[in-house]
Amino acid sequence: MLIHQLRHHWVWLKWIVGIAILTWLFQQNRQALSEIDWRELNWSFFALGTLLTGAAFLVTFLRWYYLVSSQNLPFTIRDAVRLGFIGVLFNYVAPGAAGGDIVKALLIAKEHPERKAVAAATVFLDRLLGLIALFCVGAFASLAFLPLDDHPRLQLLLTVLWGGALGGVTGLFLLLHTSLPKSRLVAWMFQIKLIGPILEEIQRGILLYQTRKRILWGAVGLSLIGHLMFLTVFYCASLALDSGTAAPSYLGHLFLIPAAELVGVLIPTPAGIGALEGTVQGVFVMGAEIATTPVSKELAAAAGFSTALVFRMANMLTALIGGAFYLINRRDIEEVLEEDEQADSESA
């Protein structure tokens, strides 16, 4: 019962946690932030970053469209955009513990009840491909900064990026180009109660992807494009603030920011609020270690925190588009969320 109560109120708890982290970060950077004249924000770069944010989301929705349609499910680009923007909105305002991906999965499963397991699984495959592409972008950008023998933290970041990139690409290759999905281990998992039938349906989906390998690798390509656009938004944010040498170069952003985006995905605050800003601050400080022009840690930290805030503003403005789609689909959304809540209550 206690777990159910915590899950029901987590949407408010995670906002409190996120705001508490932001407040702490603001106090840390108060002196340096007081030197920034926000009235002189370069609105041209901010507008460019906001437009790029919207375009990057559209690229990710197109990626998801290909993943769903390749499963022979009736699905249009318009459906992908509609559910995609609803997901972006619910990253911030999801009731209960449901994040944007969960809401998307519930909605597409409701729209395709005949193959709801595969329909919902495409949402998480879409997120997985995005993470693999994020690792790849950071790993390749790191080549511009080698060697990093005198920087242990950057070496650790290098290991994580290359480990994630190589591990992810290897995993995709095994799923698409080998008989692993037909192995005895996978077949044994079908016997597990409750999840066995779901896993069997997902296996059918993977086998179908094996006949359409180009689509899945094409989705990886779209992921790379999308993340390059999102990382460029961070760079536009630093240009809008005129951070100068306190901010990394463009290649520095491509190398360092993926770690911040990864933390923002893993920490369960609304859209990574607080976690993203804190990690961007940290990687800017790490970037100062390899900067050609020496910069104090305090100045680099303030530049990172303020850059993340400007990025957040552009992201939230774009998320408002999801509000219109929510109003149009409000009845369906509330219905699937009530069903999910009821299922959780029965489980509890």
Cis bond upstream, residue 258 (ω within 30)? no
Residue 86 backbone dihedrals phi, psi, to 5 degrees: -65, -40
Cα–Cα distance, 337 to 326 (Å, whole number): 13
User: pLDDT grade, residue 6 (50/70/90)?
Assistant: very low
**Which is it for the CA torsion 208, 213, 217, 218, positive or negative?**
negative
Per-residue pLDDT reduced to its tens digit, 241-286: 988 888 999 999 999 999 999 998 888 787 888 889 999 999 999 9
Domain positions in the chain:
2-22+43-347
pLDDT for 104-143, tens place per residue? 888 888 888 878 888 888 888 888 899 999 999 999 999 9
Q: Please tell me what DSSP assigns to residue 173.
A: H
Mean pLDDT of 177-184: 87
Of the chain, the percentage scoring pLDDT greater than 90 comes to: 41
Asked if the peptide bond before residue 147 counts as cis, ω within 30 degrees of 0, the response is yes
The structure tokens 């008989």 sit at: 179
**H helix or E strand, kind and range, residue 279:** helix 275-289
Decide: 322 and 98 in contact? Cβ < 8 Å. no
Q: How far apart are CA 167 and CA 149, in angstroms?
A: 23
